[in-house]
Structure 1
Amino acid sequence: MSPAVVWAQQTQAPTALTDAAQKAVSNNPEVQARLHAFNAAREEIDVARGGYFPRVDLTAGVGRERLREPGFDSQSFTRRGASINLNQMLWDGLATRNEVRRLGHAKLTRYYELLDASENAALEASRAYYDVLRYRQLVALAEENYVQHRSVFEQIQRKVQAGAGRRVDFEQASGRLALAESNLLTETANLHDVSARYQRIVGETPPGSLPPAGMFKDVPAQANELQRVGQAKNPAIAAAIENIRAAQADADGRKAPFQPKVDFRLRQDWDKNRDGISGTRNDGVAEVVLNYNLFNGGSDVARTRQFAERLNNAKDLRDKACRDVRQTVAIAYNDTRKLSEQLNYLDQHQTSIEKARDAYRKQFDIGQRTLLDLLDTENELFQAKRAYVNGEHDLGIAYVRTKAGVGDLLATLGLTRLDTGNQPELQNWEAGSDAPERCPPEAPAPVITNKAALNSRAAGLVPVVEPSAVAPAASVASAPGPDAGVVQAVRDWASAWSSKNFDAYSAFYAPGFQTGKMSKQAWIAQRRARVTKPGDISVQVEDIRALTKGADRAVTTFRQTYRSANFSDTSAKSLEWIKVNGRWLIERESNR
């Protein structure tokens, strides 16, 4: 079936995508240039076909003539004359016939180049459509990612301002927020770029709302079958085949100089006062003229060899076009299979990470997860969603590339072809003996991973855990429990904070308490402002665990719940204690 017939077939396709592709095909400058080249080639055939018809020339003149001859007096007279000539080619060694053949195939070459340019324009319009959809979704994901990071940043900032958070957590949240802002700027810039590309291809800016493009999954199940379809229908290969036929006709035309040229000539002359003889003269001639070149320095022989090489060049270009199409179709088809399977894993990935993120956020709120854990899983979720969106649109583009590779995208989209007039020679067009010679329709074998073997290798890496032998019972001295004094000190410290008694609160800190980068005076001023802030303050400590390190050192960990008029927070906290003169004092504190 010829590409012209395939193109005219109408299939179901998304309306918005069809409209965009139709505008691209109708208004694309490259497609229009190919259309004008086709029209020029069509008219050029009539130029060559004129060689079959007679040529008629009329010549007429009038002028003053002065004649001087030996033995005669010079004379001046007015001379008038007219001549009509007819020249009809009878035989030219088939030069005209081969030129008409060459230009006929050149016209078909331009026609298939027009089809190829239209397929490419529709492909680029479809790709631009998918890309605008893609980056609009990616901008939405980047906005949501920014909102989530901004929320965490605000939460950590309030903790730090209330004295319940670490400065390092604030810096980390600030850095991740800046990265989220950078990602948002990148995605908006990418959306602008693909919108500009859409405008260049389609001829107008993308509308504010683009419906999903859908996917065209009706492709052959076998890669080799798809290759055969591509070689039979792709217009680039058809153009290369017609170029061979044009080159063959051109080479045949170079044989004409080796044969005589025969013309029929008819001439009628009318002269008055010719050669100084008064009166009117009529002269009529009808003749058959043979012109046979016997030698011209070997130019014709060399030209024959030249055009034979041009024919070989055209055949090489045909095979190259075929190999290019074979590669394009093989890669596009493999992408449809790979991405279809990959999307399942990408969807599973984003779903699992989203569940993990939600769980991490709840655990972070009660102090069971660090800020780094939360930020890492937030970023991983963002990347997982981006990967799924990219995979989804890459799959749509892969199907479009496959359709374009076999020359079937215009038919799939149901586009109206440009007006090329009636071309009856296309109805039964086929490659025949001019089909590609060094390009078998065979796709590379797909690379299939042996999952069972990989799972077996993974199982072999898992260490074998031997059941532990039951040890005989032995009398073991019971370990001392947590120091009740340091546990009570934690409760008293929280009580002093809740009662806003700064003197009692500050008395719990050892003289050598480490204030970090702040000076002792600045730390005291900051803590005084936080402890004595207006309004009620409630500090509750739960799940207190104490670990003694000798007689005078201990570490306590607990969950701290802080509430005030404008802020509330739950976090995990750790206090390191030292016993001074029988009293437990805080030497270091940290929020985990």
Structure 2
Amino acid sequence: MASILKSFFTFLAMALCTSGAVAESLRDAVRFAVTTNPAVKATEADMRGAAYELLELRREFEPTVTVFAETGWQRVDDPSNLSTADNNIGKNRNQLGVRAEIVLFDGFRRSNLVYANSARVDGSIFRLLDASETLALNATEAYIDVYRHRILREVAKRNVVKHEEIGRRVRDLVQGGRLPYSDELTIDDRIRSARLALLEVERALRDANARYERVVGRAPSGRMTVPHAPVPKSLQELTQASVTNSYRVQYTRTQIDQNRFMGEAILADRLPRLSVFAGVSRDKNRNGVTGTRNDESIGLGLSWTLYQGGRRAERSALAEQTSRAMSEQAIAVREVTELAARTWNTYQTNLERTRQLEEQLRINLLIVEVYGEEFEAAKRTLLDLLEVERARFIVEFETVGAQAGLAFSTHRALATQSKLASHFGLAKSDLAFAPNFQNLTKDNPLSIFDVSIEPLSTEPLQ
């Protein structure tokens, strides 16, 4: 019996070996998928766009320099201020000047715009990281699915070979008069059923290959292996790590901050706006006066809207937006908590199911061996032997699926904690900017403009 089990598990280990083919590890497949998938590239472009929009705010803190000029014809009728030679006389008029202005105080509108956009950039980073986790999990699932179907194909092939072997024995016994002809018809029927089952598995494998190519970006090739990922020791540990690390939860926090700072920027319009300006201009025949005139100016400008309707509704709208963002964060926490629980339950179920199926398979293999011997001794009918072979095939089939499901559930536990990409060697810095823009601007909003944003590498990670 021990030799039978050893042969079976050796077969499972060697079933996926392809002569001369380079092995593709799960790590390589996931890294290739995450770094080349167009869906992630689209989210990456959104992140970079948000970062550049943040950098655009530099102009809010720098002077505005305006050059103005005009030329044309003018006639002024102002006898009280113009001489008889100039009054009501058409003249060519020209003007050229430059004016510079810089805002000194605007109710902290600019600062809050920087804070809000920093939160938006951090949010886009967390969205990208979350998308990378999702894609990593999808690639893992596609890889394990191909791995599972390859083994199931080998199991189905072995099932056909086994029934063909029984068929040869039955035909010999029928020819020797030890079994009726109906047994030969019965085994022929079972052989065809086994071949149809193999045909269905091969179709499912082709479908799995197609999905793999869509998700990963290239067709599966070579030998495949599926290691298990580390799993927390308890549901409580998994839940705590999931809520703490979840990119989705962290994204909702940035939405709360973004709403709050945008509200502060809008409320800044109720405070005075103070600026300093300087300018110089040169006019010819200005306002009807013949001659050239030079003007130079420097001073302070003040603008303050003391009353504007709708401000109470504006405050209420801002409060509701913040309330909505906080509710969305609470929803995200609950959903991540539920996901952690469901992931843990699936892992525990798959673990126990795999153990029981492996034990059931051990028993089935023993039954098949005993029934085979008893069939040769005419103590069991052909239907008895075929029935235990069918039961063995079903249990073996389910065992392969359970083992693959267990391996996937360990990786799903990592994805629930937002750790799957890093498990395969994809650091955050490989995928996105560091989500630290809010901290950079916390004490000094101008400090963000010292950040250099280099293009992310478009080459697959090696």
Which TM class, normalised by the smaller chain length? 0.7 to 0.9
Are positions 1:232 and 2:240 aligned together?
no
Q: Closer, same or farther in 2 for the Cα pair 1:382/1:422, shift >3 Å?
A: closer
Q: Which of these residues, 76, 84, 87, is aligned with residue 98 of structure 2?
A: 84
Q: Which of these residues, 313, 317, 320, is aligned with residue 328 of structure 2?
A: 317
Q: Closer, same or farther in 2 for the Cα pair 1:264/1:70, shift >3 Å?
A: closer
**Which residue pairs with 1:190 in the alignment?**
204
Are positions 1:18 and 2:30 aligned together?
no
Q: Which of these residues, 107, 115, 120, is aligned with residue 134 of structure 2?
A: 120
Q: Closer, same or farther in 2 for the Cα pair 1:96/1:213, shift >3 Å?
A: same
Are the aligned partners of 2:93 and 2:286 in contact in 1 as well (CA < 8 Å)?
Answer: yes
Cα deviation digits, residues 507-557 of structure 1 (max 9, x gap)? xxxxxxxxxxxxxxxxxxxxxxxxxxxxxxxxxxxxxxxxxxxxxxxxxxx
2:66 corresponds to which letter in structure 1?
A: D
Could you say what secondary structure the match of 2:430 adopts?
A: coil
Q: Which of these residues, 212, 227, 249, is aligned with residue 214 of structure 1?
A: 227
Are positions 1:405 and 2:405 aligned together?
no
Q: Report how far residue 309 of structure 1 moved.
A: 1.2
Are positions 1:265 and 2:253 aligned together?
no
Q: Closer, same or farther in 2 for the Cα pair 1:160/1:75, shift >3 Å?
A: farther
**Which residue pairs with 1:46 in the alignment?**
55
Are positions 1:365 and 2:376 aligned together?
yes
- Which sections of structure 1, spanning at least 5 residues, go unmatched? 1-13, 429-592
**Which residue pairs with 2:258 in the alignment?**
246
Cα distance in 2 for partners of 1:259, 1:356 equals 87
Cα distance in 2 for partners of 1:172, 1:280 equals 116
Could you say what secondary structure the match of 1:135 adopts?
A: helix
Q: Closer, same or farther in 2 for the Cα pair 1:421/1:238, shift >3 Å?
A: closer
Q: Report how far residue 23 of structure 1 moved.
A: 0.7
Cα distance in 1 for partners of 2:180, 2:92 equals 119
Q: Report how far residue 291 of structure 1 moved.
A: 2.3
Cα deviation digits, residues 218-245 of structure 1 (max 9, x gap)? x331221221111111211111111111
Could you say what secondary structure the match of 1:50 adopts?
A: helix
Cα distance in 2 for partners of 1:427, 1:95 equals 19
Which sits farther off after the overlay, 92-101 or 40-49? 40-49
Are the aligned partners of 2:243 and 2:417 in contact in 1 as well (CA < 8 Å)?
Answer: yes
Could you say what secondary structure the match of 2:378 adopts?
A: coil
Q: Closer, same or farther in 2 for the Cα pair 1:380/1:419, shift >3 Å?
A: closer
Could you say what secondary structure the match of 1:255 adopts?
A: helix
Q: Which of these residues, 71, 75, 82, is aligned with residue 67 of structure 1?
A: 75
Cα deviation digits, residues 263-307 of structure 1 (max 9, x gap)? 333332221122343321122333333222233331x32222212
Cα distance in 2 for partners of 1:121, 1:383 equals 32
2:406 corresponds to which letter in structure 1?
A: L
Cα distance in 2 for partners of 1:21, 1:87 equals 53
Q: Closer, same or farther in 2 for the Cα pair 1:99/1:404, shift >3 Å?
A: same
Could you say what secondary structure the match of 1:84 adopts?
A: strand
Are the aligned partners of 1:88 and 1:263 in contact in 2 as well (CA < 8 Å)?
Answer: yes
Could you say what secondary structure the match of 2:25 adopts?
A: helix
Are positions 1:103 and 2:103 aligned together?
no
Q: Which of these residues, 146, 149, 162, is aligned with residue 135 of structure 1?
A: 149
2:266 corresponds to which letter in structure 1?
A: R
Cα deviation digits, residues 194-219 of structure 1 (max 9, x gap)? 11111112211111322x221123x3
Q: Which of these residues, 353, 361, 383, is aligned with residue 342 of structure 1?
A: 353
Cα distance in 2 for partners of 1:121, 1:326 equals 21
CA root-mean-square deviation: 2.7
**Which residue pairs with 1:301 in the alignment?**
312
Are the aligned partners of 1:254 and 1:304 in contact in 2 as well (CA < 8 Å)?
Answer: no
Q: Aligned residue pairs: how many?
A: 412
1:344 corresponds to which letter in structure 2?
A: R
Are the aligned partners of 1:333 and 1:399 in contact in 2 as well (CA < 8 Å)?
Answer: no
Are the aligned partners of 1:49 and 1:100 in contact in 2 as well (CA < 8 Å)?
Answer: no
Q: Closer, same or farther in 2 for the Cα pair 1:95/1:68, shift >3 Å?
A: closer
2:385 corresponds to which letter in structure 1?
A: L
Cα distance in 2 for partners of 1:426, 1:215 equals 37
Are the aligned partners of 1:66 and 1:74 in contact in 2 as well (CA < 8 Å)?
Answer: no
Cα distance in 2 for partners of 1:284, 1:347 equals 93
**Which residue pairs with 2:194 in the alignment?**
180
TM-score (norm 1): 0.64
Q: Report how far residue 181 of structure 1 moved.
A: 2.1
Which sits farther off after the overlay, 174-183 or 391-400? 174-183
- Which sections of structure 2, spanning at least 5 residues, go unmatched? 1-22, 441-462
The structure with the greater share of residues assigned to strand is 1
2:122 corresponds to which letter in structure 1?
A: L
Q: Which of these residues, 21, 34, 40, is aligned with residue 43 of structure 2?
A: 34
Q: Closer, same or farther in 2 for the Cα pair 1:313/1:423, shift >3 Å?
A: closer
Which sits farther off after the overlay, 93-102 or 145-154? 145-154
Are the aligned partners of 1:266 and 1:286 in contact in 2 as well (CA < 8 Å)?
Answer: yes
Q: Larger relative contact order (C-alpha < 8 A, sep ≥ 6)? A: 2
Q: Closer, same or farther in 2 for the Cα pair 1:426/1:18, shift >3 Å?
A: farther
**Which residue pairs with 2:289 in the alignment?**
277
Q: Report how far residue 134 of structure 1 moved.
A: 0.6
Cα distance in 1 for partners of 2:329, 2:281 equals 55
Cα distance in 1 for partners of 2:438, 2:99 equals 40
Q: Report how far residue 365 of structure 1 moved.
A: 3.1
**Which residue pairs with 1:202 in the alignment?**
216
Are the aligned partners of 1:60 and 1:81 in contact in 2 as well (CA < 8 Å)?
Answer: yes
Cα distance in 1 for partners of 2:24, 2:425 equals 10
Could you say what secondary structure the match of 2:232 adopts?
A: coil
Cα distance in 1 for partners of 2:337, 2:189 equals 48
Q: Report how far residue 143 of structure 1 moved.
A: 1.0
Are the aligned partners of 2:368 and 2:385 in contact in 1 as well (CA < 8 Å)?
Answer: yes
